[in-house]
Homo-oligomer: A and B are copies of this chain.
Amino acid sequence: MSPAKNAEILKKSLIFSSLNEDELSALAGLAAERSFQPDEFILWEGDEPDYFYVVAEGQVKVVKNSSTGREFIIAFFGPGEMFGEVAVFEGKPYPASAQATSACRILAIKRQSFLDFLATRPQVALRIINILGGRLRDAQGRLKDFAGERVEQRLARILLMLASRMGTTLRFTRQELADMAGTTTETAIRVTGGLSERGIIITSRGQIIIADEAKLKALAEGPPEI
């Protein structure tokens, strides 16, 4: 892929949209493109943070494994979104693994090149602060959910969050939903089964369609009032 094409991709991302043509070219020159097959790992938790990544095409999931072997999905990222950044900024090993969920093209920028680039672009730094702030807000909100809410509410909120990012047709398996909600596949099936019976969602293999977003929101807010 040409550097010009890379610049196109970077321009579309939230982080770099403020850059002018020259800056985009400079950054694109630093980026190497890599391709990954579905289920292939892009980086592993514990690896040295040598690269900063931006998704060009496809979808990536960021996961951590618990001591009991269960997988926890921190987030999905699509075109224009960055990942692996926390480790790059801190210079510590990646805190989670990243795995392609579809055929992917990924832009990789060497850690030090990116930090140097950033040191002279306060606007980009501010943009990154914004994105990190948003992710932190999100993580702390989820933390509260995990601490205090039932599985049904957690799943409802996750479905709503996914819907706000990807529309009402969600191509995820129950197992992926379970791994996002911090529960088991069986429980996720039982809960989505309940939602399906109540006409709130329509389920099929590997896919969930949100049929009644209003009811789902009511459910996410709290337990059905008596």
Task: Give residues in A with beta carbon < 8 Å to B.
Answer: 64, 66-68, 70, 72, 74, 85-86, 89-90, 92, 95-96, 118-123, 125-126, 128-130, 132-137, 139-149, 153, 181-183, 221-223
Q: Determine the chain B residues whose CB is within 8 A of the CB of A222 once the complex forms.
A: 67-68
Q: How many copies does the complex hold?
A: 2
Other-chain residue from B90, B121, B139 in contact with A130 (beta carbon distance below 8 A):
B90
Q: Determine the chain B residues whose CB is within 8 A of the CB of A133 once the complex forms.
A: 85-86, 89-90, 132
Interface centre among A64, A129, A143 (most CB of B within 10 A): A129
Separation in Å of the A222 CB from the closest CB of chain B?
4
Chain B's closest residue to A139 (CB) is B139
Q: Determine the chain B residues whose CB is within 8 A of the CB of A182 once the complex forms.
A: 143, 146-148
A145 to B66 alpha-carbon distance, docked (Å): 7
Q: Determine the chain B residues whose CB is within 8 A of the CB of A74 once the complex forms.
A: 140, 143-144
Contact A126 to B130, CB < 8 A, known contacts A66-B149, A139-B139:
no
A132 to B136 alpha-carbon distance, docked (Å): 8
Contact A129 to B130, CB < 8 A, known contacts A68-B148, A122-B120:
no
Contact A147 to B72, CB < 8 A, known contacts A139-B136, A141-B95:
yes
Q: Is the CB of A67 within 8 A of B153?
A: yes
9 contacts across the A-B interface (CB closer than 8 A): A64-B144, A66-B145, A67-B149, A86-B137, A89-B126, A90-B133, A95-B141, A120-B122, A136-B139
Contact A86 to B136, CB < 8 A, known contacts A67-B149, A67-B221:
yes
Other-chain residue from B89, B119, B147 in contact with A146 (beta carbon distance below 8 A):
B147
Other-chain residue from B92, B126, B143 in contact with A143 (beta carbon distance below 8 A):
B143
Chain B's closest residue to A63 (CB) is B144
Chain B's closest residue to A120 (CB) is B122
Q: Determine the chain B residues whose CB is within 8 A of the CB of A144 once the complex forms.
A: 64, 66, 72, 74
A221 to B66 alpha-carbon distance, docked (Å): 9
Separation in Å of the A18 CB from the closest CB of chain B?
12
